[in-house]
Structures are given as C-alpha cells and as structure tokens.
Structure 1
Amino acid sequence: MTAPLETTGSAAEVPPEAVLTGAKQSQIEGRSLGQIAWTRFKRDKLAVAGGVVVVLLVLLAVLSKPIQWAFGMDPNEFHQDLIDPALLAPKGAWGGMSWEHPLGVDPQYGRDILSRIIEGSWVSLLVAGGATLLSVVIGVIMGVTAGFYGGWADTLISRAMDVFLAFPLLLFAISISASLQDGAFGLTGLPLRISVLIFVIGFFSWPYMGRIVRAQTLSLREREFVEAAKSLGARGPFILIRELLPNLVAPILVYSTLLIPTNILFEAGLSFLGVGISPPQASWGGMLSTATDLYEADPQYMIVPGLAIFITVLAFNLLGDGLRDALDPRGK
C-alpha cells in the first residue's frame, strides 16, 4: 500500500492540481496567432498611424457624396468671379484660399479644390481596390494551382506569368483606353472608364501575386499537415481550400496592401497622360495633368493633389510593412 500524498510543505511536494487551485484563468490562458499578431502590430506606431489614415481615406471615399451634399460642395461648379482675368490666377493670396474654399480654387475655372479632392478620392480608391481584388483573385488561383499540382500545370502557368510580366502594360493601357472612349459592352462615360482601368491594371498585374503564392505553396505542400490530410484520404480541392489557403492569408493580405498604392499611382499616371478618367470628372491624376499647364499661375493646384497621392501611398505602405512584421511567424 502506497503512502498518502503530503499536503504540507513546499509547492514541489504538492500535486500539480493543488498548485493550480485558485489560479485565475487569464494567468494560464494561451494566446491565439491572431492575438499575437495584433499585439505586435500595436507596438508599431507607424503602422498604426498608417492604418488610421487608410481607414479615414476609405471613409472619405465612401462618404464623399454625402459630405459634398451636406456642405453644399460642387466639384464642377465654376467661380469665374474668383479668377483675375488679367493674371489668369485666383484672386487673393495662397490660391484664393478662404473660409468657403479652404484649399483655394483652380486657376482655370475657379472650381473648389477641396471638393475636387474629395470627389477624386472615391475614383482613385475604387480603381485601385477593384484592380487589386481582380489581380489577387487571379493570382491566388493560378499560384496555388501551379505550386500544388506542379508538372505541366506549373510549367504552363509559370510561362504565362513570364509573358504577362514582359508585356508592355503602359502602352497597352493607353491604346485600349483610347480605343474604347465612345462605348463598349453596354457602358459609356465614367462607368466605362473605371471598368477599363480596373480590368487593364488588375488583369495584367496578377503575376506579381501569383509568383508569391506559388512560392509559398511549394513550401507548404511539403509540410506535415498536408501529408496528414493526404494520408486520411483528402483530395486536392479539399487540401487547397481547407489546408493551404488558410495558411496563405497572411502573405496575400500583406502583398495586397502593398499592391493598392502601386495601382493608385498607375491610375494617376494614366489620368495624367489623358487616357484615364476623363474630365470634368475629378481625379487626383487628372488634377495633376491639368496643373502642369497652370503651375506658374497657381503652384498650389499641383501641390494639393500631389500631397493627396503621397499621403495615400505612404499610409498603405506603412500599413503593409506593419502587417508583414506582425504576421511573420519568425518575428519576436
């Protein structure tokens, strides 16, 4: 017969159950991967600041029409009385800044710059977001398929990526945008312009996402959990959806946040060249294109949309860098 357990003395002599008696659950509760990533992200002040700016920009784009209606703004309203006909420049100092026009007016028609910046926000973010979504969907499908199945599928998709990466995207975007100005696919005007930009930018940008996803899939398909799923009789589609895709969320999310500012700059560049969003619709790139001819009359008309693009791109880049560091399993 064994001797009874001692209940007195040091903690080493007491059974583990007795040591944990009375301990709070929060003291022994583990943290999930999401909680660990959020803790890391909060420590990066620049990433948090970038995330806040991104949220504010998205809200501004979504609420641009209600904001203009609430404050009586009209981005296309002319104020010729605010333009000095002799100098062809806004009257007053700092580009005609006043309480009614906090950022001044453009030196061509006297349109309010603030209302045009707000109006152009939803155009730039819609084109960049739609193009990013399209490239992510195509890139993930192609990358996962090439990395998991390998063989002829990998060879075919990889060569297609090389062809798309070597394609002169800018020249193609200029030609197709210029040829579809009158109408196509039942669309005309602004909806057609936005749809063409989303398709051109997104469809020809998917190889960047596809290469990253393919490389991650090649590494993940050799892991133990994939082999375990195969040993239990799981087939390819089940493994792709239930095993591989959840482990690809982090790199997809990070690269998407870094792809959005690239698409914003590309849309601004096309509008700057005159094949993007056509006037009188306001867009940040279109405002820069107009400002090149009016720089001497009012430099502020170029500085304001330039700063809008700069702040947006910087915020998305800071957010993407912060997410990359937070979701890195090797990070501390």
Structure 2
Amino acid sequence: MTAPIETTGAAAEAQPEAVLKGVEQKRIEGRSLGQIAWLRFRRDKVAVAGAIVVILLIAVAALSRPIQSLLGLDPNNPNQSLIDPNTTLPKGDFGGMSGDHPLGVDPKFGRDLLARILEGSWVSLIVAFGATLLSVAIGTVLGVVAGFYRGRVDAFISRMMDVFLAFPLLLFAIAISASLQGGAFGLEGLPLHISVLIFVIGFFNWPYMGRIVRAQTLSLREREFVDAARGMGARGPFILFRELLPNLVGPIIVYSTLLIPSNILFEAALSFLGVGIQPPQASWGGMLNQAVKYYEVDPQYMIVPGLAIFVTVLAFNLLGDGLRDALDPRSR
C-alpha cells in the first residue's frame, strides 16, 4: 500500500465543510424575468439616458403651471416693450434673450418662450399619451381576439385593419378637426381640441398595434401552456385574459413607447397646419407655425420649439429601443 499523502498550508485549510458552511450563510437566490430585464436595461447607458430625459419631461409637463407661477411667467401675457416697433422683432440679440427671458421672446407679441414651451409640453404629452392609450386598448383587444380565434373572426378583423390603414390619415384628421372647431359633445375650447386630437390620432392608429398583437398571439396560442389550459377545461375568454395577455405585456409596452413619439409628431403636425391646438393656447406645433414668418430674421423662435420636439421624440425612441432589447434580447 502507498502511504497517504499529507497536505499542508493553504490546501489543508480549504476543507469541504468550510466551503459548505459559507454557502449556507449566503443562499443563492433566483431572479425573476423582470429582474433579468432590468439588469439588461441598466447595462444600456443610452437607453438609461433616454429614460432619465423622459422622466424629466413628464415631471416638467406635470409641474408646468407651478413652475410658471414660481418663476412669475405667463405664456399668454404680451409685452410690447420688448418688441421693436419698427421691425416688430424682439429687441437685443438672439431673439431677446436675457436674464428674465432665458429663451427669448416671440416676435410681434413679446411673450416669453420658456413659458410657452412649458405650457406646450403638457398639451403635447397629454395628447400623445391619451392617443397611445386608446390605440393600445383597441389594438390589443382586437388583435388578441383575431389571433386566437382565427377563421372568419380573424379575416373580418384583418380586413378592418386594412381598411383603416388605407385611409389618408392626415387628410382625414384635418377634415375632422376642422369641422369640430366650434363645439361638439358638450365641449368647447381647449378640452374639445385635446379630445378631438386624442380621438383622431388614437382611433385611426390602432391597426399598427393590432397587427403586432395578432402576430404574437398566433405564436403564443400554439404553446404548451395554452394546451395545458385547454386540457384543464379553460374556455376562450379565460385563456385570452389569463394566459395570453400576460405574455403580451412586453411587446405592448415596447411598441407603446415607440408609438408615443409618433403621436407627438402627429399632434405637432396638426397644430402646425392650424387644425390642432388653437392660439393663444401654446403648443409646439403652433409655435412652429407662427415662426415660419420670422425664421429668416429671428431663427430663435423656430429653434426653441423645434429642439423641444426633437429632444422629446429622441428620448422616447431611445427608451423604446432599450426596452425592446431588454425584454426581447433575441430581437437584437
């Protein structure tokens, strides 16, 4: 027989009991799908920066009125003393920028641009979020029903999507918005304009969400958990709302964050064309409309609202791309 090998030093100290004892003190915990997605999202620095900007924009929009009161600003208060009577342009350089008016004032009226940007922020975000919510609600319900039941139900809903997608949406939105400017449904003024924009943008954009949800549902309905639910006696409505919809949350969230900037641009386009938010209420698209007359002599008036739209749309797009990569890494 061979003599037993003696170990000394560090090798002798690393006994199995000591290793197991350390493991018992710190248990290994599993991670949920949400935690894994959050870790992926945190590694994407660009998406995190977009999320921070989005949070700041939402906070500024929600607190725009208190911020204006705190700074003593009024978006609709004209100040003719800041306008040169000979040129009808702001006095001074860079559109009348000063300590009291850090972004300058608008030509002809002398209204503070910072106040009007703050006032227009909540209008744009309310319209964008409201229209997105309406599109998501209609598109999700019809998309999941079409993908699950298939057959005639799928054919009818799919043809309905094709009809809506065939509409010249911009012209249709202009016609509806222009015809309802005076008053309708017991509403008038700003509440009417916001409601009309939310309806027009949201109702006619639902097929985009519907197609995505339908495609995802066609894939999910063939999965094992759906077959197991059927085997346990579950019926269609239970499978739709308890089995399929929870698995569609990721794609719905991702596409919603990408739909919001499109709706912001659409609202700005309608306001720019004069059929959206009506003056003197401030809106980013309306400010661009008024700046067209002065962009050669006072480019500041066009740059400020243009940058506001650019930064907002870019931040939401970066956030949406980051969420897509975090929730569905196979799509990269």
Scaled by the length of structure 1, the TM-score of the pair is: 0.93
Q: Which amino acid aligns with 1:221?
A: R
Specify the alignment match of 2:3 in structure 1. none
Structure 1 166/142 Cα, relative in aligned 2: closer, same or farther at 3 Å?
same
In 1, the alpha carbon distance for the partners of 2:212 and 2:198 equals: 21
Q: Which amino acid aligns with 1:229?
A: A
Q: Is 1:220–2:220 an aligned residue pair?
A: yes
Residues 84-233 of structure 1 correspond to what in structure 2 (within 5 A)? Answer: 84-233=84-233
Structure 1 50/26 Cα, relative in aligned 2: closer, same or farther at 3 Å?
farther
Specify the alignment match of 1:40 in structure 2. 40
In 2, the alpha carbon distance for the partners of 1:292 and 1:27 equals: 65
What is the DSSP-based 3-state SS (H/G/I as helix, E as strand, rest coil) of the residue aligned with 2:94? coil
Structure 1 29/269 Cα, relative in aligned 2: closer, same or farther at 3 Å?
same
Q: Deviations over 1:135-158 (max 9, x none)?
A: 000000000000001111100000
What is the DSSP-based 3-state SS (H/G/I as helix, E as strand, rest coil) of the residue aligned with 1:330? helix
Contact 1:88-1:297 at 8 Å conserved across structures: no
In 1, the alpha carbon distance for the partners of 2:79 and 2:221 equals: 63
In 1, the alpha carbon distance for the partners of 2:111 and 2:32 equals: 52
Specify the alignment match of 1:298 in structure 2. 298
Contact 1:127-1:197 at 8 Å conserved across structures: yes
Q: Which amino acid aligns with 2:63?
A: L
Q: CA deviation at 1:297?
A: 2.9
In 2, the alpha carbon distance for the partners of 1:329 and 1:107 equals: 49
Contact 1:121-1:283 at 8 Å conserved across structures: yes
Specify the alignment match of 1:243 in structure 2. 243
Runs of 5+ unmatched residues, structure 2? 1-11
Specify the alignment match of 2:320 in structure 1. 320
Q: CA deviation at 1:84?
A: 0.7
Q: Which amino acid aligns with 1:58?
A: I
In 2, the alpha carbon distance for the partners of 1:21 and 1:48 equals: 39
Structure 1 212/25 Cα, relative in aligned 2: closer, same or farther at 3 Å?
farther
In 2, the alpha carbon distance for the partners of 1:54 and 1:20 equals: 47
Q: CA deviation at 1:23?
A: 1.2
Specify the alignment match of 1:7 in structure 2. none
What is the DSSP-based 3-state SS (H/G/I as helix, E as strand, rest coil) of the residue aligned with 1:28? coil
Contact 1:144-1:214 at 8 Å conserved across structures: yes
In 2, the alpha carbon distance for the partners of 1:254 and 1:57 equals: 19
Contact 1:134-1:203 at 8 Å conserved across structures: yes
Q: CA deviation at 1:181?
A: 1.0
Residues 12-31 of structure 1 correspond to what in structure 2 (within 5 A)? Answer: 20-24=20-24, 28-31=28-31
Q: Indicate the RMSD between aligned Cα atoms, in angstroms.
A: 1.8
What is the DSSP-based 3-state SS (H/G/I as helix, E as strand, rest coil) of the residue aligned with 1:51? helix
Q: Deviations over 1:193-238 (max 9, x none)?
A: 0000000000000000000000000000000000001100111111
Structure 1 294/24 Cα, relative in aligned 2: closer, same or farther at 3 Å?
farther
Q: CA deviation at 1:30?
A: 1.2
Specify the alignment match of 1:5 in structure 2. none
In 2, the alpha carbon distance for the partners of 1:252 and 1:235 equals: 24
In 1, the alpha carbon distance for the partners of 2:116 and 2:331 equals: 43
Q: Which amino acid aligns with 2:140?
A: V
Structure 1 244/56 Cα, relative in aligned 2: closer, same or farther at 3 Å?
same
Runs of 5+ unmatched residues, structure 1? 1-9
In 2, the alpha carbon distance for the partners of 1:94 and 1:109 equals: 16
In 1, the alpha carbon distance for the partners of 2:57 and 2:21 equals: 51
Q: Deviations over 1:159-207 (max 9, x none)?
A: 0000000011111111111111110000001100000000000000000
In 1, the alpha carbon distance for the partners of 2:86 and 2:127 equals: 39
Q: Which amino acid aligns with 1:224?
A: E
Specify the alignment match of 2:5 in structure 1. none
How many residues are paired up? 320
What is the DSSP-based 3-state SS (H/G/I as helix, E as strand, rest coil) of the residue aligned with 1:98? coil
Contact 1:107-1:297 at 8 Å conserved across structures: no
Q: CA deviation at 1:108?
A: 1.6
Q: CA deviation at 1:267?
A: 0.3
In 1, the alpha carbon distance for the partners of 2:253 and 2:88 equals: 48
Q: CA deviation at 1:330?
A: 3.1
Q: Which amino acid aligns with 1:203?
A: F
Q: Which amino acid aligns with 2:160?
A: A
In 2, the alpha carbon distance for the partners of 1:313 and 1:45 equals: 18
What is the DSSP-based 3-state SS (H/G/I as helix, E as strand, rest coil) of the residue aligned with 2:98? coil
Scaled by the length of structure 2, the TM-score of the pair is: 0.93
Specify the alignment match of 2:66 in structure 1. 66
Specify the alignment match of 2:78 in structure 1. 78
Q: Deviations over 1:44-103 (max 9, x none)?
A: 011000000000000011111111111111000111011111122110111111111000
Q: CA deviation at 1:20?
A: 4.5
